[in-house]
Structure 1
Amino acid sequence: MDFARDWTWLHSEALWGMSAASMLLAAAAAMGTYLLLTLTLRWAQRRVRRHDEEGAARGGAGGLLAQLLAGTSQLLIVLASVLVGLGLLDLPDRWHGRVGQLWFLAVAVQIGLWGSRATSVAVQRYRQHHGVGATGQASASATLMSWGLRTLLWVTVLLAILSNLGVNITAFIASLGVGGVAVALALQNILGDLFASMAIAVDKPFEVGDFIVVGGVAGTVQQVGVKTTRIKALSGEQVVMGNTDLLKQTINNYRLMRERRIVFSFGIAHSTPADKAEQVSRTVAEIIRAVPQVRFDRAHLKGFGASSLDYEVVYIVEDPGFNVYMDIQQRINLQLLERLRALDVQLAVPVSRLQFNSPPAGAQQADVLAQAAVAGGAGRA
């Protein structure tokens, strides 16, 4: 009887235009929703963490999902629970719109938090994949990409929230566009180098530590910055090049070079007999095949020069080192000199011939008469 009277009192007692029973029901629903969401989140985190530990095949996705779930805001869970409870109350019409806007705000901010966490994870894995660690060269391009993606994400979330609140964002977006164009025109050179730096980070034509040749510069890449790339040249100095200018040129990158193809030429005298000229090719092949770390390709009498019989030789050095190649080439050259002397074959020496033609007899007589006439005129003077 007392219970029935209390229940009647809860329904009859009004607070802010709502019965006490409905407010208790809304509070219970909010608490139940909070407990349900919290327990579900913890269960999901434990499950993906377990999958991350069980197998490498599912470890990548599980690890990513676990880090995303770790970015869930407890404050937003509380807000969502309160909104569930408010949905059970008989609110005035003007409050229904406010509750809907709060739902949109909570969902948009949570999506923004998950997107920001995903960006951080992606940049971190990008650095680990390309060997950019705590002891290595920090990637300014990766940091800029992270900052740019987060800025774009939160600007989009903010504009969506303002639009949901009824704010006219068309003029604001137009102002941002005009301001962006003005800033881009004022900073076009800097922005060009910035985007070139991002292109280097994404396309990776070279990395820190690579030996490259670009234009007239040959050296090792020391740092790829926001605006410039620093190269330590072979002569010892540091060369600083703008990223935009760097990408406009052809870049030779020797990082993936595993072997070196060598082509060299030499010439012998024109007076060399045909049988000895043929023997020279076989001799060169024998010399190169006896050298370690070398694959012989070909040796041919290529053609007839102005003062020599020209040979072209091709071989492959199975080591990319330049000093190794030079040592091998020197060894081949010395043995070639020795073997040519044994064959009595002379290397060609450039010869220049000057030919003087005697003038005709009539021209000589005319020159003598002219000289006599000049001498006679001088005597009369």
Structure 2
Amino acid sequence: MSINLSTTIFHNTIQEYLIALAIFIISLIVLKAIRTVIFNQLDKLAKKTKTDIDDTFIKIIQSVKPPFYSFLAVYFSILTLNLTPLASKIFNAILIIWLTYQVVIAIQILINYIVKKKFPGDKKDRAMPELIGKILKGTLWTIGILLILSNLGVNISSLIAGLGIGGVAVALAAQNILSDLFSSFSIYFDKPFEIGDFIIVGTMMGTVEKIGIKTTRIRALQGEEIIFSNQQLTTSQIQNFGKMKERRVIFRLGVVYQTPTEKLKKIPHLIQEIIQAIKLTRFDRTHFVKFDNSALTFEVVYYLQTPDYNKYMDIHQAINFQIKESFEKEGIEIAYPTQTIYLNKN
């Protein structure tokens, strides 16, 4: 029994249906072949290179599931058919939604890669990058939904205006919270201090333990936790000892007025030898600077090549001990506040 290919069924002939079927099969084969070729090439490239960007592209390709290729093949095939307006709208809507979804997923994978690459950090320092990633993803999904609605014929102008008014209302209601939020962005990107740094803010001082979205927490020397709002930190003057590569140390010592000039001239050289013999120090200068009331005063300056405060105290103590030992050997007497009273017998 022969089939008449010109027979019309639902506004299309059998021949047109067969052509659409052939286009569907060919499109499906071509799309899957393209995916396989691209995937294989990227996989080979990933094995040859040390970078992980190619692994990210592989994830993007893997995020496109087989049903999407099947739908694309169906869509290409129905372009040759005469569909009702309702059917055309349905297929176009599905295509727009699905394409937008896949693009958003692909960009989301890239955002995750960039955030992890640019802001490695440890688990304690992951709050800010994760927040940035969530904000970017939320913005991306919002744009995607608006694009879908716009392509489906929905007037989004009033919707955008409503969102704008709502955003202004929320911003006014949460003004302090948003100020702290933006201040946390400023702290994270500008990095005036980092976790582990010892900082002084006004009369408060301690080691930074956590930089949060709204507050920053530091541990004081006495052991208590001090909590600052991020806005307060961005508007305050901060002394950061964690950024200090070397510490400049300046101190003065005095010897008695009875010290002979020859021994006074020896003191700068004695102190220089003491400091230069100690590791992690860099001698700068020693000078006889002043005739004080009860002492001939010398000023000593040296640099400590470590920011560690305990190490500084240990080294400075060692210098003081050696200065006293050296002065005792040389017969140089360290001064202390004294008064000499002369009595006139007449």
For the aligned pair, the TM-score class normalised by the smaller chain equals 0.7 to 0.9
User: How far off is 1:334 after superposition?
Assistant: 2.4
What does residue 222 of structure 2 align with?
Answer: 235
**Aligned 8 A contact 1:223 1:230 in 2:** yes
2: CA distance, partners of 1:155 / 1:75: 25
The two structures have a TM-score, normalised by structure 2, of: 0.86
Distance 1:252 1:45, change over 3 A: farther
Distance 1:45 1:210, change over 3 A: farther
User: How far off is 1:94 after superposition?
Assistant: 8.1
- 1:89 maps to a residue whose letter is L
Deviation per residue, 1:351-375 (Å, 9 max, x gap): 6899xxxxxxxxxxxxxxxxxxxxx
What does residue 24 of structure 1 align with?
Answer: 18
**Which stretch of structure 1 is more off in the superposition, 230-239 or 67-76?**
67-76
- 1:39 maps to a residue whose letter is A
Q: Kindly indicate whether residue 54 of structure 2 is the aligned counterpart of residue 62 of structure 1.
A: yes
- 2:23 maps to a residue whose letter is A
Q: Kindly indicate whether residue 99 of structure 2 is the aligned counterpart of residue 110 of structure 1.
A: no
The one of 321, 325, 328 aligned to 2:312: 325
- 1:30 maps to a residue whose letter is F
The one of 74, 77, 84 aligned to 2:76: 84
Deviation per residue, 1:129-180 (Å, 9 max, x gap): 32x2xxx426222221121111100111111222222222122111111111
What does residue 125 of structure 1 align with?
Answer: 117
Percent identical: 33
1: CA distance, partners of 2:179 / 2:339: 55
Bigger radius of gyration: 1
**Which stretch of structure 1 is more off in the superposition, 315-324 or 344-353?**
344-353
Q: SS at 1:207's partner residue?
A: coil
Q: Kindly indicate whether residue 31 of structure 2 is the aligned counterpart of residue 37 of structure 1.
A: yes
List structure 1 segments (4+ residues) > 6 angstroms apart after TM superposition: 92-98, 351-354
**Aligned 8 A contact 2:197 2:243 in 1:** no
Distance 1:245 1:312, change over 3 A: same
What does residue 40 of structure 2 align with?
Answer: 46
**Which stretch of structure 1 is more off in the superposition, 342-351 or 153-162?**
342-351
**Unaligned runs of at least 5 residues, structure 1:** 355-381
2: CA distance, partners of 1:304 / 1:63: 73
**Which stretch of structure 1 is more off in the superposition, 251-260 or 280-289?**
251-260
What does residue 208 of structure 1 align with?
Answer: 195
1: CA distance, partners of 2:131 / 2:280: 45
- 1:119 maps to a residue whose letter is I
**Aligned 8 A contact 1:73 1:110 in 2:** no
User: How far off is 1:97 after superposition?
Assistant: 7.0
Q: Kindly indicate whether residue 276 of structure 2 is the aligned counterpart of residue 289 of structure 1.
A: yes
User: How far off is 1:186 after superposition?
Assistant: 0.8
Deviation per residue, 1:92-147 (Å, 9 max, x gap): 678767765554444322211211222223333345x32x2xxx426222221121
Q: SS at 1:208's partner residue?
A: coil
2: CA distance, partners of 1:41 / 1:304: 87
- 2:76 maps to a residue whose letter is V
Distance 1:29 1:49, change over 3 A: same
Root-mean-square deviation (CA, aligned residues, Å) is 2.9
- 2:127 maps to a residue whose letter is A
The two structures have a TM-score, normalised by structure 1, of: 0.78
**Which stretch of structure 1 is more off in the superposition, 71-80 or 323-332?**
71-80
**Unaligned runs of at least 5 residues, structure 2:** 342-346
The one of 172, 190, 196 aligned to 2:159: 172
